[in-house]
Structure 1
């Protein structure tokens, strides 16, 4: 796989701004009926997706500010935030999404060059505090997928934000053991050459137990998968069902689309 150099904080933050502004334009038009409607995220309505993104933005804003101030988080801060959001009305959740994602994006944008390079932020679930680029990239991933969950209901041809895609390719498959279900292959095994466009990458996808990726394409693969990079990202995240697969996507070899999708059930 032709790896992209991990993007720096500047470009990730710029993509965050683009992604938020795009989703915000939709959210400002939603009435109560739209907010109560289904999203592409299983069992979540639109308002719940926005609540998830809003509460996450509030928590991350607090986390970054604590790192800037060299302070420690309250032990129950996250639980209090989630409880408040869960008890809010749908309109309050939509308004809160706009408020807190604007605050978080503005906070990222306010970081100076030294902070973007040297600040380390303790997210609480990584082995060590992470740099700004890593934290922004994780947020970009969350925003990008859930933005698609909202937008794709009205537009089945919706794609992930183009500005986000290059930044997500290196992290999308960082934990295959968690995001894949080899049992859903029903004993089938195959090695596929995956070729993406926009941007162009090529690598080997080994469908077995465990599922794995080899950056070097196999010399004698069992088949091939060709698709836009954003569609590959959606496949990995369980968001490439038949109704949302681009016509340009192609799959050859012994593995059927249904089986391939089942190996990546989503999260």
Structure 2
């Protein structure tokens, strides 16, 4: 039976293979062209994913060797090295760096998926392999979209990544949702995912929460799973919003963009 860890690692592999092929074919002009991430060109998003792969791999290796998680100074050194690379150097360095991380996750046995713990440094306590892989997949999935949307505004999240990210999107709310941007207004929205048939309840209070579909709601937000996940991570700006996104009630789409400004 496929476990959460199996699914997250398989999605990391698919995402790596697809993005590596895309990155390899980018021209010098494309590498320095805009991404969908504010203030970053494509090569800078690639750099962020490459440095993140190295930092995650160090945490995985430390857990296997019984060493403490890497300290912040280690992270700073990795970021500085990638920041100093040229766009073409980032293009060349990303595939092997991310391949090493994906292979490290693939090397865990089914037994380790349940028993092994990884200290990733910023969580309250070490997490299991599935959680660690899913956290990396969330970062990877959104930044993969940042690259693809820089080339094609109609790009969507990779389906295999979106299916996994959906299970933890509420976990992002604690550090990215800004209910204060509603200036004291509150509301409960019925969120209707048009492609999956799922309905949810989005409670725009402080803190913002996600739950079961409410019996009564102040309004309704209708959109695909992809658009919902991108909205929750600040990636549904007007240029990247599908025409079929619809909202009713006292809260506008711009209000939701203010609540979820992204990162």
Q: TM-score range by the shorter chain?
A: over 0.9
Matched, 1:68 2:68: no
Match of 1:224 among 203, 220, 223: 220
* Greater RCO, CA 8 A, separation 6+: 1
Structure 2 partner of 1:152: 149
Structure 2 partner of 1:238: 234
Q: How do 1:56-95 and structure 2 match up within 5 A?
A: 56-73=52-69, 75=71, 76-95=73-92
The verdict on how the C-alpha distance between 1:74 and 1:174 changes in structure 2, with shifts beyond 3 A counting, is closer
Match of 1:172 among 169, 172, 177: 169
Structure 2 partner of 1:110: 107
1:175 deviation in Å?
Answer: 4.1
Match of 1:55 among 48, 51, 54: 51
SS state of the match for residue 137, structure 2? helix
Q: Distance in 1 between matches of 2:143 and 2:164?
A: 16
1:73 deviation in Å?
Answer: 4.7
Q: How do 1:134-153 and structure 2 match up within 5 A?
A: 134-153=131-150
Q: What is the TM-score normalised by the length of structure 1?
A: 0.92
Structure 2 partner of 1:31: 27
Match of 1:45 among 25, 36, 41: 41
SS state of the match for residue 164, structure 1? helix
Structure 1 partner of 2:126: 129
Q: Is the 8 A contact 1:7 1:167 kept in 2?
A: no
Matched, 1:249 2:245: yes
Q: Distance in 2 between matches of 1:147 and 1:32?
A: 18
The structure with the greater share of residues assigned to helix is 2
Runs of at least 5 residues in structure 1 that lack an aligned partner in the other structure:
1-5
Q: What is the TM-score normalised by the length of structure 2?
A: 0.93
Larger displacement relative to structure 2 (178-187 or 222-231): 178-187
The verdict on how the C-alpha distance between 1:160 and 1:7 changes in structure 2, with shifts beyond 3 A counting, is farther
Q: Distance in 2 between matches of 1:256 and 1:8?
A: 35
Q: Is the 8 A contact 1:227 1:249 kept in 2?
A: yes
Structure 2 partner of 1:188: 185
SS state of the match for residue 152, structure 1? helix
Larger displacement relative to structure 2 (238-247 or 142-151): 238-247
1:198 deviation in Å?
Answer: 4.3
